A and B are shown apart, each in its own frame.
Chain A
Amino acid sequence: MTMNRRLSLAGLATVVDEIPAITTVVRTYKEIDITQYLAAELPLVEIREPEEIPVAELTGQRALQSLEVSLKVWFVNWGDNPLAAYEELMRLLRNKIGANFTLAGETVATWITRISPIDGTMPVFWYEMGLTMHYYLNQKDA
């Protein structure tokens, strides 16, 4: 089966987009300007183009590659305490990725390696989630 960086990241975007509570998924090579989005487009997950690191060289012109992906999750909350919304979104993402850790067959495995504390200013908040994705790269299919 063909695996490569493009398909792995597309698989991640597809899986995250399947979460009903997530309204918008954006893949970007640099930090987005959140002021260009409407409140109705949040919660929004920003998938930044990741750093790619070779893990192991395998036989048959294959390599085990690692993508260090950062998801930034933006949401609007008008309550006096956004922690409940933050925890719920975090739970949904963790459960979804955990239940689909091969990202629809596009990766070998996916781990959540980091979750940041909540940040932002009333009523627009955000937090970051770090993922490590491993996939087998066939150099001929790169």
Chain B
Amino acid sequence: MATYYGLGSKEEIMANLNTALNEIPGINFVDYQRISFSGIQPDDYPGCFINDVRVDKTRLLKDIVKNSFGVAIPGWVWADDDENLITKLNAWVELMKDKIMEDPTRGSKAYDTLITTIETDGGSRHPQGLVMLVLDIIFFSQE
């Protein structure tokens, strides 16, 4: 019987996400806690940020707290003249989703990972395509 402890920390979980996303074939840029794309060079496509957004805490026992950790992952791709942006963006989303869900326990530091939202820019920045993945990562702590 599998056992999930999920007694990690936010930092361990973020590090696991960083490692996982950096393993995506073809990824060129990963950084933390950024929302602005200023300074992103052409060589940095495709890429993503990993943003710690919020933690909702629910006390279950005096020394067990359930944490619902919201992580936002803005990602971006660039479609060349002979490429279809939506195809390229969707392929990039699938790669990110597959890599994130390869290990929903984040190396046994979390209980579960849920992808709750996938939102695009609707083509407003063509040929740049932006996507926002929002994760809800459940982990437990003493405080």
Q: Which residues of A contact B (CB under 8 A)?
A: 34-39, 42, 76, 78-81, 84, 121-124
Closest 9 A/B residue pairs (Cβ): A124-B60, A35-B59, A38-B62, A38-B63, A80-B2, A79-B3, A39-B61, A79-B1, A39-B63
Task: For B4, give its contact among A42, A76, A78, A124 (CB under 8 Å).
Answer: A78
Q: How many residues of B contact A (CB 8 A)?
A: 14
Q: Is the CB of B3 within 8 A of A35?
A: no
Q: Which residues of A contact B3 (CB under 8 A)?
A: 78-80
Task: For A80, give its contact among B1, B60, B64 (CB under 8 Å).
Answer: B1
Q: Which residues of B contact A (CB under 8 A)?
A: 1-5, 59-64, 66, 111, 140
A36 to B2, CA, bound (A): 29
Task: For A124, give its contact among B2, B5, B61, B111 (CB under 8 Å).
Answer: B61
Q: Is the CB of A121 within 8 A of B62?
A: no
Chain A nearest CB, measured from B137 CB (Å): 14
A37 to B60, CA, bound (A): 9
Q: Is the CB of A34 within 8 A of B61?
A: yes
Q: Given the interface contacts A121-B66, A122-B111, A123-B140, does A38 sit within 8 Å of B1 by beta carbon?
A: no
